Chains A and B, each alone.
Chain A
């Protein structure tokens, strides 16, 4: 479970202080699929970076699976990130001179799994995203959609509790975007909690819950009706 309470993140220059997150509070339960939306500069990516322990915050509290992350050392944060969190980025962020298999292997190396276990996990993850046959290909030899699927395989190979996706379909055409979303839903159904930052209303609607950010705070305004609420509303109308 992810629990943020009154989290503030401030970017400072000599002259000004900018609140990227202002007294931001959010709870995400295990197994949820939450879409985070908002205009550019609203703090979506900062939220995702703080949630993913890539950035620290200035005040408030943040618990990840019951652990207070505020006072953790870099080593402890990295370990937690490695074991509990998977990242998916808009621009895939595959390492260009490693082949598909070695890319998926990266988080497993830092987890210090032995070779047999790494091989098994890489195989399962690539199977899940349908790219087992491309294990030896280099990223440049794959289409955008395939690269993002490799990135998803890399994110889930360590079996993380949370998957943080920052505009995962931003660089894909609509068909590939749908395939990637289908895959994320499938992973969510397997029990992984997903936090998805997106501009795309269609994607946001496919989440169970929608959090809308404006100026680093959660807004009451609901830009998109999440799939669960829409389903419930539809059922009510029928009744």
Chain B
């Protein structure tokens, strides 16, 4: 991690949603930094709190009655304690956001150009004509052909990829310093996904903004991110540089994520590229992570991942691991109760193509007999929706 003053610094952020069944601890003490002009990727399953933490940055969870604590420092101001109106001035201006489904994220009854004009005029006192010219410029910048004609069309006249481009254009009209991209490619065709990611990379190079990209797809962050934070059950369990995360992952959940992506040639080539230094794991089979994401109302005791972790020890059900830097790698933080040497030995086995059970035996880990199997791991708990959005 670089050492300059970060653009965004999230400190011990907690977001709770009081509900009828209990309090949903959507984000449970998360800290991360985004440096100017850099890209942080947040990776996790549905319900890991990755979207909620970014929506909270923009104050968009306030309306849903979220209880927020911690600090979100942006350019010397704490966004958590700002008034609604001050936060509104930052939204879409200094910090912009694009969303998962461009199909539903644009208002169906307004022309695309008008929606961009609204974004400009929400923050700048410029005449409609100038705002429209800006909208046309931006539509051209994001690669929409014939922007002077497209600006007067409605979203339903755009294809999915074009709509996401229009969303990106709308996010960029006010030259944001930080762009939050929440699963920007998930709803798109694979070929279009690559185009959108390439577009975002180009725009970042040209405009110099920082990007916070949220995804469940390691392939996406492999291509885009400088740093990666892996979230599980509302917490960050591992955070390090992108290269290091793919070459030396230390958290069993990260291992699970890496082993559960298809590594066929041609697919997730960015990931392959990232792994090229040491080569991909030998085993080509997809290995799912057993069990389901835990309830965020009653999270498991101790390490939240222990019900699904093949390597958990008896005391892991009681002790809650802290996110700590590795002694020899200050830029690499892991929240795992295993010793760093044990973890490295285990990953070496897994990388060589061994199963977790084989790896445990090889590493001589004192372990409970049965390994959790898919479907029966963890106590059956109601699935928690990602967030009441």
Whether A associates with B in a native complex is no
The residues of A with any CB-CB pair to B shorter than 8 Å are none
The residues of B with any CB-CB pair to A shorter than 8 Å are none
